[in-house]
Amino acid sequence: MFPQADQSSDTYEDCKATADWLLAQSAVRPSVGIVCGSGLGGLAAALKDQVAFDYKDVPNFPQSTVHGHAGRLVFGTLRGRSCVCMQGRFHLYEGYSVQKVTLPMRIFKLLGVDTVILTNAAGALNQDFKVGDIMILKDHINLPGLSGNHPLVGLNDERFGVRFPCMSDAYERELQQLALDVGQELGFGDFLKEGVYSVLGGPSFETVAESRMLAKLGADAVGMSTVHEVTVARHCGMRVFALSLITNRAVMDYDSPEKANHEEVLVVAKQRAEQVERLICTMVARMERRHNNNDDDDHDDHHDD
């Protein structure tokens, strides 16, 4: 059964109550938050010393209704770094308000997360992209947001962030470069791309005219998630990295016999999931090393003084 549309916004106190409940249930204090898209929830299995919660058991938390989304919140360590991982996310087409869809980002912030990594399955608009490519997001087009369905509409709580947050730097440049470097080292160069992601409300796939319009606007891939979460994560001051697994090609020709479908999305996600997981696991390990190196540099500078 689908949830009823909910236009209410969860308050800071609601989010803090959920975060406090989770912190009381787990000794993990996550610095990295990971959101797994359709068919990519296996990443959570890489976490060590897991403590997992079904979404239905977490106070104030929505529930995932989409096939391919397990609906669990998993705490643990990934390559030595404390993480919290969402196996499945929430979407506008499930009947949730955009505020409810993005609630986990605010909870991440109150858990102590400073970096968010998001994955999704997307359709290719860029004719140079192939099914199975991994696209690193360098920017997005928020069509629902431009038409007023924006997660920051309403009263702003300064405890989360400023009234008018900047989005020109939504995706952390350093993390994009790290992903490209790691991808080359792992031998993923042939299918690792960069591009612009456009979000639509769904749940129907795009018409030919809609796909052509998005391509003309500069979008390389299209999907039904991620951008709302990115917006709130940046509002909360967290660093963001996101990637799309290209699981189908948007139909751009009226004579094409191709038809987009969710089953195809899950099949391709399963085939490429291992490489996505290796990329993110290596990135997390490298982020930790870079952080430690910076700490060492700071320590050395202090010692020289």
**Predicted confidence (pLDDT) per residue in 58-113, tens digit:** 999 988 777 665 789 999 999 989 999 999 899 999 999 999 999 999 999 999 99
Report the pLDDT value the prediction gives residue 289, as an integer from 0 to 100. 52
Report the pLDDT value the prediction gives residue 209, as an integer from 0 to 100. 97
Kindly state the average pLDDT of the residues 125-145: 96
Please determine, for residue 52, whether its predicted confidence score (pLDDT) is greater than 70: yes
Report the pLDDT value the prediction gives residue 256, as an integer from 0 to 100. 86
Active site residues: 38, 69, 91, 93-94, 121, 224-225, 248, 262
Contact 20, 111 (CB under 8 A): no
Calpha distance 173→175 (Å, rounded)? 5
Q: What structural domains and CATH numbers belong to the chain?
A: 12-249+260-304 (3.40.50.1580)
Q: Which of 54-58, 123-127, 300-304 has the lowest mean pLDDT?
A: 300-304
Tell me the per-residue pLDDT of 205-259, one tens digit each, with 9 for 90 and over: 999 999 999 999 999 999 999 999 999 999 999 999 999 999 999 999 999 888 8
